[in-house]
Structure 1
Amino acid sequence: MPKVPKVPKVPKAPKAPKAPKAASAATAAGEAPILRYCAQPMQHPRQFDPAVDALRSRAILAGGKKWVNGTQLTFCCYKTGDAVPGSWLGKAADIEEVRQAFQAWFKLGIGISFKELAAPADATIRIGFDPAGGSWSYVGRDNLNIRDPLQRTMNFGWALNTPYGRDTAMHEIGHALGLEHEHQNPFAGISWDADAVRRYFQGPPNNWDERTIDWNILRKISPAEVKGTSWDPDSVMEYAFGAGLISEPAAYRKGLQPKGGLSAADKAWIAESYPGVGPKKEIPVLEVGLSQKLAIKAGETRVFDFTPTRTRTYSIATFGSADTLMVLFEVRSSGNLEIGGDDDSGTDRNAKIDMRLISGRRYQVGIRLYYAQMAGETSVMVW
């Protein structure tokens, strides 16, 4: 059977084993569950200039894959008529489960939204349903690196209208929102029987090679990239594992089975990462030539309104010794449309967007602060 490929020079959708096998619940107590697992595409870790100290790089990594508040996350499920392999096309029942999974995440009242689009070329998240491709998704803003509309950013390899399938849909969308695998959390304290793990995942139905096993199971994620300072064994981002794979903690030597669905920690993470805007809370307005303090802490985001009175090219920029991600949205009745952005993190410059804006149209500027030597001295201005 073909193997999952090595890290590509340019990120592309991963291949996976040919022979699909429907996921099932755990077998008799003490036996390994016969499941197919999510296999994330391997990515090159971000490298920083030596001048960027550890505290600063940690702060950048902590928020580097998260979206900016105000983002409308668009998705499209490949359908008949799209110039893609027929195996990528989903059944109506599975597509409906994807919609419901998006609803489950976004109905928590967070500061980003989602919308299903008909054309893959218009969507940020492009979803296939190839049984031979396994289930996987790119993480957060890594999706923006996959711009070809004929490349998937997410795939489902088994039926989603089962309890395990519904959790799979929630799991992959969790990746798209910026969550990593929970069992790779460095705070979990998991010690693996590495030989047993390799034997299990090299066998059917996963048939993974060693690099895929290391990337998705044995690798510890940087503490900066996980959702908290403790392990959540019930997270929807946690795998179920059978007996004999985990050596420590002792309580999980006979296996690990998450409860299913979104855990309390999952809900807390997304609320903290993408805080919603209450109906009574006004969004600050940017005025030409007048700077406004960002007034947020590292890891937080803030959104500003701007409605130009004249059609021309405007400059929008941050000021101060800070690492920021700035995104410009055009506000439409159908939702925010991202039209520009700049990420200055890890550099000695500030984020800046130069763009022609139309008089009378409403725009929003979303800014995520990664790190600042003096957060209170960071500001934004349009001119």
Structure 2
Amino acid sequence: MKKIPLFMLFLIIALLASCSDESRSDSEIDVGSTGSKRSYVFAYKQDADEAKLETRAGVLTSRRWTTGQTIRIKFLNGSAAAQAKVKEVADTWLNYANLTFEYVNASENADVKVAFQWENDHITWSKIGTDSKAVLQTKPSVNLMLYNQNDIDEINSEDFSASILREFGHVLGLIYEHQGPDASINWDENRVVNYFKAQGWSLNQIDMVFDSYNKKQTNYTEFDGESIMLLYFPDFLTTDGKGTKWNTKLSETDKQFISTVYPGKAPVTPVLPMTVALQYTQNGGSTYFPYTGVRIGEYYWVNNNFYHEVPRNGNNLEGWENDYPITQARLDKYLPYARLDVSQYQINIDDFKKYYGIYYNRQSVDYMTTKGKVYEGEDRKLTSWGLPAAADYQQLFAMCPFSTDQHTALNERDVRFALSAKAGDNPLAFNISDPNNGPYKTYWFLTGNNINIYNFNMMPGGAKLNGSGTWTNGVDDPHSGNVGDIYHLFYTVGFHTKESNIYIHDFLDTRNSFSYHWYNVRWCRQLTDVELGYKLYINTAKTDIKKLGVYDAAPSGYTELAKGYLRGFYVQYILDNPTPKYTIANIVEFANKVEDHTL
């Protein structure tokens, strides 16, 4: 029998509900752009009659709605903004469940009655499934904790959206799963008892933390650590310091399971815009930096190098690069090393910072990974943007077209031509010529070569030294340099990656040979399977790739196609192409022949 996560069963047990405990600081969760921190535990809520209900699987269907049913919902209080957010987020479930939500006026009868902080109740909770219908029309069946119903930042916070998703999971009949047999939470029982006693729990109620689910006699025992229905338990309640995550989005299992409970919903593949407005912040929302994301295959990429500064942190190296900014004097020092005339490159330094970006040291990159957040689109959704891995860049490079009539392998020229800014695209997208008609000049922006096909706007920024030493470029080598000095400007591209860095010079180089030098940074976001509307699988022999539905099982002998060159070539040349020019064998060969030092 196929196992389904235990938390998904329609058990009728005492309600557990998320709440906020601001007095505890041991384990904190960032709740969004307000910059505040709160610790989340859950509180116990039980009606007298519910304590007597059976919990056997045989009675579970009594709390399910009828597939295809319209569920009437009304609000008993709350601001217009808060109500609108609930509607927006709750409807996420309807992408996968064959149900309809109809929102009616407070004076009308409804199946589900939603309130915000009803009668000063600071606990977020919901009735399970159709139990909502038995609640009086003047009383809530769902209570959502919202500190300020007019605070747009709080309403739009990731935390509040997660609470809405979780409680509407209850509305659809789902319960919490925090201790299925596979969960293996190693409780510190004394801490758990003391902690929840301080919340007003009885010992019998606390026992449910330890015993409620793993003693059920059922086959539905798989545990999903990513589920929106998994409660957050702080690390300090366990002996090994491993609590549970504060999940904020539907997991793939959530989506798959609810579509089997209420089947018949046609898969929804959203229309993805080719560009998205982005707001980057690293200080809890006090300051935002605008960027633009562009769609490239299965990703969004920021379409210019990061230009915001990381704050300087005393003797630590975070923000160290701020002590050595690009200046005209620093450029003047570099130009003769490339046999370029200084007079030909007297520029506006602000333009350089904007279009070439900042060269960050590794500690600053790590700071951004830890502190940085990107809000996407007009509704400022918090999304999973982050520092790319080498495989992400490989897939990006494989999206660059090349002509097999001219050469049989993707090389740095193909990538440079496809992704770089064209001459004149920005004030610094121009080549430098020797005023004496000598042989030394720059070539990156030669007219007719660059096509900037995705508006990626790549610039040949080179890199900067992190200390004193020498470097080479094939012209009057070696050259001496000091910390903060630039090298290989106009000829190469360097980006930080999760592993280390990638480089584009005479070859593509995604080896991630570790370097402490300073490079430019861009972030990307992989589109989710649901956004794409498919998953890709490849067989062991690499002779076939299958495009399947998001929830279709992988065929025998197939595994999910990894990010990288092969997947990029497939997306570019074969995916959704009814008459592809190339075969699977062709793109496997392309992936094996890329002129990359990694291969």
TM-score normalized with structure 1 length: 0.52
Report deviation, 1:36: 5.2
Q: 1:13 to 1:263 in 2, by over 3 A?
A: closer
Do residues 132 (structure 1) and 121 (structure 2) align?
Answer: yes
Counterpart Cα distance in 2 of 1:244 and 1:14: 20
Compared CA separation, residues 69 and 16, structure 1 to 2 (3 A): closer
AA of the residue aligned to 1:230:
E
1:13 and 1:254 map into 2 onto residues whose CA distance is 24
Superposition CA RMSD, Å = 4.0
Is 1:272 aligned to 2:260, yes or no? Answer: yes
Q: 2:39 aligns with which of 28, 34, 37?
A: 34
Mapped to 1, the partners of 2:122 and 2:264 lie a distance apart of: 35
List per-residue Cα deviations over 1:272-328 (Å, max 9, x = no partner): 10001569xxxxxxxxxxxxxxxxxxxxxxxxxxxxxxxxxxxxxxxxxxxxxxxxx
Greater length-normalized contact order (CA 8 Å, ≥ 6 residues apart): 1
Aligned to 1:112: 99
Q: State the Cα distance separating 1:226 from its structure 2 match.
A: 8.7
1:177 counterpart residue number: 172
Cα contact 1:12–1:151 (8 A) shared by 2: no
> Does the alignment pair 1:231 with 2:214?
no
Q: Distance in 1 between matches of 2:204 and 2:18?
A: 10
Radius of gyration: which is bigger? 2
Q: Secondary structure at the match of 2:175?
A: coil
**Amino acid paired to 1:139:** I
How many residue pairs get matched? Answer: 238
Cα 1:114/1:238, change in 2 over 3 Å? same
Per-residue displacement from partner, 1:165-207 (whole Å, max 9, x unpaired)? 110010000011111111043543334323312322344xxx3
**2:81 pairs with 1:93:** yes
Give the CA deviation at 1:23: 11
- Where 1:44 maps in the other structure, the secondary structure is helix
Please point out which of 229, 246, 263 is paired with 2:238.
246
Match of 1:141 among 111, 116, 130: 130
Q: 2:63, 2:128 within 8 Å by CA — same for their partners in 1?
A: yes
Does 2:243 match 1:255? yes
Give, as a single letter, the amino acid of the residue that structure 2 aligns with 1:273. V
CA distance in 1, matches of 2:63, 2:140: 18
Normalized against structure 2, the TM-score is what?
0.35
Report the CA distance between 1:220 and its aligned residue.
1.6
> What displacement does 1:63 show?
2.5
Give the Cα separation in 2 of the matches to 1:99 and 1:215: 36
Aligned residue for 2:212, secondary structure, equals coil
Contact 2:112-2:141 at 8 Å conserved across structures: yes
CA displacement at 1:237 relative to structure 2: 0.8
Compute the displacement of 1:20 (Å).
8.2
* Change beyond 3 A, Cα 1:234–1:33: farther
Q: Which of residues 126, 151, 157 is equivalent to 2:139?
A: 151
**Is the Cα–Cα contact under 8 Å of residues 75 and 114 in structure 2 kept in the other structure?**
yes
Q: 1:74–1:116: 8 Å Cα contact kept in structure 2? A: yes
Q: CA deviation at 1:256?
A: 2.1
User: Does residue 202 of structure 2 align to residue 210 of structure 1?
Assistant: yes
Counterparts in 2 of 1:46 and 1:233: CA distance versus 1, 3 Å: same
Indicate how the Cα distance of structure 1 residues 34 and 28 shifts in structure 2: closer, same or farther if over 3 A, else same. Answer: closer
How many angstroms does 1:77 deviate by?
Answer: 0.9
Counterparts of 1:215 and 1:149, CA distance in 2: 34
Question: What CA distance in whole angstroms lies between the structure 1 residues aligned with 2:190 and 2:107?
Answer: 41
Residues 258 and 14 of structure 1, relative CA distance in 2, 3 Å threshold: closer
Residue matched to 2:53: 46
**What are the ranges of 5 or more consecutive residues in structure 2 without an aligned counterpart?**
1-12, 31-36, 148-154, 268-599
Shift of 1:104: 0.5
Deviations, residues 242-296 of structure 1 (Å, cap 9, x unaligned): 223134xx5xx333214420001111110110001569xxxxxxxxxxxxxxxxx
Q: Distance in 2 between matches of 1:226 and 1:263?
A: 22
Aligned residue number for residue 188 of structure 1? 183
Deviating more after overlay: 181-190 vs 116-125: 181-190
Structure with the higher strand share, 1 or 2: 1
In structure 2, relative to structure 1, the CA distance for the partners of 1:40 and 1:275 (3 Å cut) is farther
Q: 1:213 to 1:13 in 2, by over 3 A?
A: closer
Query: SS of 2:235's equivalent?
Result: coil
Q: Match of 1:73, SS?
A: strand
